[in-house]
Chains A and B, each alone.
Chain A
């Protein structure tokens, strides 16, 4: 049986943040004709092609700019990581390898792909949600 943690439920900020994420994905599609998939945009930097690097760097600069501004203005602090560094490193390796192998991550498959009702993205999202739930179950309730 699922127990919902109402004390940490944040529906308003979750919806508002989701709207901004959607607006960003919509704007990149409308203005630039691109799918907003962070692993694809970042991973493309490792296969540089002429004229294809600038927009990727501009996007990543934008990703870094908002948190830096929030931090320096004292609006928000750096979120705390929940795991020791060696786990963080192992997780990063898996996320990098897996997202490139599976051609996408939470943004590209989970938001943009599902929004297009792409069969591949529906399958990919089901797979990463499955192992996400499974690993958290194992690390929190078994080991």
Chain B
């Protein structure tokens, strides 16, 4: 039951990425090209997503158990640290290089695209690399708590 709902949610999310244009690297790059011929369409995508997600956050606020009886897992960390900043800067650089972020990468893989397969493989390597780097870091220093 739980996994069926998550599967359908994944279908809905990827359909949204396809319809909005977020799945198309050229559309994303045109959105990020503020100093060229700028295509602002994806601002509307973000705004619509934000409003609906915001309502769901207000509705579930203070709840401890989800509708399917699972614990609510909302990040509680409120510290803006160097990792958050440097990580997000690096992520944005990668996003700007190819016009692809993790959701659209996997959706492009569903389109059986070869460059998407290269991107997804590299993305998992990058994730594993960070994990190794993080693990090495925490064995050198006292552990820090992250959301």
Residues of chain A whose beta carbon lies under 8 Å from any beta carbon of chain B: 2-5, 8-11, 13-36, 38-39, 42-43, 46-47, 54-55, 58-68, 70-71, 76-83, 85, 87-107, 109-112, 114-116, 118-120, 123-125, 127-137, 139-141
Contacts and interface: CB of A to CB of B under 8 A. Distances in A.
B127 A82 contact: no
A1 B132 CA distance: 44
Contacts of A55: 2-3, 6
Contacts of B144: none
Contact of A31 (B5, B107, B146): B5
Contacts of B128: 46, 96
Given A19-B16, A79-B25, A135-B93, A97 B50 contact: no
A96 B125 contact: yes
B32 A132 contact: yes
B49 A28 contact: no
Contact of A29 (B57, B79, B88): B57
Contact of A103 (B44, B87, B98, B121): B87
Nearest to A2: B38
* Interface residue range, chain B: 35 or more
Contacts of B55: 26
Interface in B13-63: 13-27, 29-30, 32-57, 59-60
Contacts of B25: 79-83
A9 B16 contact: no
Given A19-B52, A29-B57, A98-B91, A58 B18 contact: no
A65 B7 contact: yes
B88 to A, nearest CB: 4
Residue among A13, A39, A96 with the highest chain B CB neighbour number at 10 A: A96
Contacts of B18: 17, 66-67, 70, 76
A15 B45 contact: yes
Interface in B59-73: 59-60, 65-68, 70-73
Nearest to A96: B126
Given A13-B21, A32-B5, A120-B77, A62 B14 contact: yes
B32 A42 contact: no
Nearest to B90: A98
Contacts of A103: 75, 77, 83-84, 87, 146-147
Nearest to B43: A14
